[in-house]
Amino acid sequence: MKTRRVTVPAMEAVMGRTMPVLDHGFVRVVDYMGDDGAVAQAARVSYGRGTKTVSDDRGLIRYLMRHAHTTPFEMCELKLHVKLPIFVARQWIRHRTASVNEISGRYSILDREFYLPQHDVIGTQDEKNRQGRGAALSASKASKYLGILSRDALKAYDHYERFLGIKGDKTTEKAVARELARIVLPLNYYTQWYWKTDLHNLLHFLALRLDSRAQFEIREYAKVIAGAVKRWVPLCWEAFVDYRLQALKLSRAEAAVVKSVLEGRDPRKAALGLSNRERAELKESMGIDVPSDG
């Protein structure tokens, strides 16, 4: 049947296709609603006639993004099927503005599939960022880590099967309930869910999870989703990159420091209220080095 709904050829091309992430995970676009035009169309309802200056879709979308006029972006929806390690799911689920339906370990028997990081992303504890990963571990230490991780995951799955009473292809009647058996599985086991959200909240998710401070593993998922969003709503994506993802937000004091530098004044006075961490961040983002007086 021919549809009267909006379709985006670039998105149709990836619909239903499994896009691999990490060692066993994936993202699959199940469905989408709307396109760039739907965002502009919704915005025009609120602006009404006579606003010719914002009549072009690109200009209008950029205006909306720049001024955080967010509701038109909520007119577009994306539904994904995602397979992801449980520890990634725990971070992801914190994004409350989405609808989620997860595989149930109470009904189903979970697969023997667990995440093992690649050698090159196995790092030491970062010394500055308490949440982050530092330099790569030596090859021999990384191998030892992977060996233990893998043995523990397999052993846990053996116990899981034992609790379930699975012997070969058979399940004994005296099995422990699936909901109790599954609790032996570690965080690197894979789970799956359907995840649906609107474009506004999706971009918020991407802004947080594409950031270098987000954990590598969830960033890998965010990158794949970002690729799909770029295909789906290229004008919204462009505006998002320009006004949010790669934009800089300055605090009052930071803005004062930048202004001092631009005006050729000593920025130390303006920087008085900045903590050492803020000074370091300003150096990283703007290349402005304000020495502390102390």
Ligand X SMILES: Cc1cc2nc3c(=O)[nH]c(=O)nc-3n(C[C@H](O)[C@H](O)[C@H](O)COP(=O)(O)OP(=O)(O)OC[C@H]3O[C@@H](n4cnc5c(N)ncnc54)[C@H](O)[C@@H]3O)c2cc1C
CB of 10 or CB of 93, closer to ligand X: 93
Q: Is 96 in the site for ligand X (CB under 6 A)?
A: yes
Catalytic residue among 28, 209, 231, 279: 209
* Among 66-74, 89-97, 161-169, 257-265, the segment contacting ligand X (CB under 6 A): 89-97
* Among 94-102, 167-175, 188-196, 229-237, the segment contacting ligand X (CB under 6 A): 94-102
CB of 100 or CB of 116, closer to ligand X: 100
Q: Is 95 in the site for ligand X (CB under 6 A)?
A: yes
HEC-encoded secondary structure of the chain: CCCCCCCCHHHHCCCCCEEEECCCEEEEEEEEECCHHHHHHHHHHHHCCCCHHHCCHHHHHHHHHHCCCCHHHHHCEEEEEEEEEHHHHHHHCCCCCCEEEECCCCCCCCCCCECCCCHHHCEEECCCCCCCEEEECCHHHHHHHHHHHHHHHHHHHHHHHHHHCEECCEECCCCCCHHHHHHHCCCCEEEEEEEEEEHHHHHHHHHHHCCCCCCHHHHHHHHHHHHHHHHHCHHHHHHHHHHHHCCCCCCHHHHHHHHHHHCCCCCCCHHHHCCHHHHHHHHHHHCCCCCCCC
Q: How far is the CB of 176 from ligand X (least distance, A)?
A: 31
Catalytic site residue 106? no
Q: How far is the CB of 162 from ligand X (least distance, A)?
A: 34
Binders in 108-167 for ligand X, by CB under 6 A: none
* Among 13-21, 90-98, 230-238, 279-287, the segment contacting ligand X (CB under 6 A): 90-98
Residue 274 has which token pair? 């900045």
**Count of beta carbons in the 10 Å neighbourhood of residue 200:** 19
CB of 36 or CB of 198, closer to ligand X: 198
Binders in 203-262 for ligand X, by CB under 6 A: 204, 208, 213-214
CB of 94 or CB of 170, closer to ligand X: 94
Applying CB under 6 A, which of residues 51, 53, 97, 101 lies at the interface with ligand X? 97
HEC-encoded secondary structure of 249-277: CCCHHHHHHHHHHHCCCCCCCHHHHCCHH
CB of 94 or CB of 249, closer to ligand X: 94
Q: Is 200 in the site for ligand X (CB under 6 A)?
A: no
Q: How far is the CB of 200 from ligand X (least distance, A)?
A: 9
Nearest to 97 by CA among 16, 202, 23: 202
Q: Closest residue (Cβ) to ligand X? A: 96
Total residues contacting ligand X (rule CB under 6 A)?
A: 9
**Count of beta carbons in the 10 Å neighbourhood of residue 139:** 11
Q: How far is the CB of 86 from ligand X (least distance, A)?
A: 16
- Provide the residue count of the chain: 294
* Among 17-25, 95-103, 117-125, 139-147, the segment contacting ligand X (CB under 6 A): 95-103
Q: How far is the CB of 207 from ligand X (least distance, A)?
A: 9
CB of 30 or CB of 208, closer to ligand X: 208
What residues are annotated to the active site? 209
Q: Would you tell me which residues interact with ligand X (CB under 6 A)?
A: 94-97, 201, 204, 208, 213-214
